[in-house]
Structure 1
Amino acid sequence: MTPVVRYDLVTLAPRSVKKDSGGNVRAIGRISTGLAATATLLAVVPSVNASAGPTITASGLTCHGSAGKFGAEQGSGSGNNAHYPPRGEWQWVRGYCDDINVKLDATRNVRVCTPKKCHGWVKAPKNTWTVVFKNSVYAASYYLQFQGARSVTGWLAS
């Protein structure tokens, strides 16, 4: 059997999505209390053919269905780009998507910055889901940078 879906029982955010030899998505989650008590859950969720429609995670959400609305912090002047989340804070990959996706309220160039570097600019057209970082890793830290000081709002799915 290939690796299975693992997700946090509190947030229901899967760590990875894999199918077993029978084509079923398997979900195994684990939660601990401060007293080190542990509960384990094993669930089998039917797989979905990606060509037939949206990818469904162990929690039942689609990638874009898990998206959250955001507003970027405005840059402070020339050469100082808008950011999300605000400077000094980090976003993390939630695990609902294979990639980091944005749908912006205005066309903008956007890039993903990780603790090691900022990656290349990607043009995200207005009101269109755009992959801005491929093959993201569950719980990895990042922030979005928008070219120019002007703020922007939109949807973020990861």
Structure 2
Amino acid sequence: MTKTARRVAAALAGTAAVLVATVVPSQASEASATAAGGALSCYGSAYGYWAEPGANGGYAHYPNYGQWDVVDGNCNDINIKTDSTRTVRVCTVNRCHDWKTAPKATWTVIFKNSVPGASYYLQFQGSSSNTGLLAS
């Protein structure tokens, strides 16, 4: 999913949140801020990812090989919630960082003190594809 598609999905989610807020008043203030273009919460700005399988026994990779994702700045860190327990690392322009184990269905910080606008990609140990959520 491209960055633009993720942002459109986030906008649609904000619209859906406004509709839910009419039924669930306790969520109205956050939903209104999102719909009005206000800042999203860290996990509220999460988007789905699909890591492509590694070629020739290489690591699975997100985004696709040769592409980069960008830190959104809604969190202080890069966070992942995988659909299966995986070992993952963040690679920045200068280097790939330490491997972190991300348990299935649990938010895990995989890179601390991220800088908004910084480019990065993820490597997953093993060559099998992976899905889940990212928040940065």
TM-score (norm 2): 0.72
Long gaps (5+) in structure 1: 1-10, 12-55
Are positions 1:147 and 2:125 aligned together?
A: yes
- Which contiguous aligned blocks of 4+ residues in structure 1 show a shift greater than 2 angstroms? 56-60
1:118 is matched with: 96
- % identical aligned pairs: 58
Tell me which protein shows more helix as a share of its residues.
2
1:87 is matched with: 65
Aligned-partner Cα distance in 2 for 1:100–1:77: 28
TM-score (norm 1): 0.62
Superposed CA RMSD: 1.8
| Paired residues of 2:39 and 2:74 also in contact (CA < 8 A) | no
Out of 102, 107, 111, which is 1:133 matched to?
111
Are positions 1:71 and 2:21 aligned together?
A: no
Give the aligned residue type for 1:155: L
Aligned-partner Cα distance in 2 for 1:145–1:59: 32
How far the C-alpha of 1:89 sits from its partner, in A, is: 0.3
Aligned residues: 103
How far the C-alpha of 1:122 sits from its partner, in A, is: 0.2
Give the aligned residue type for 1:113: C
How far the C-alpha of 1:59 sits from its partner, in A, is: 2.2
Give the aligned residue type for 1:153: T
1:59 is matched with: 38
Long gaps (5+) in structure 2: 1-6, 8-32
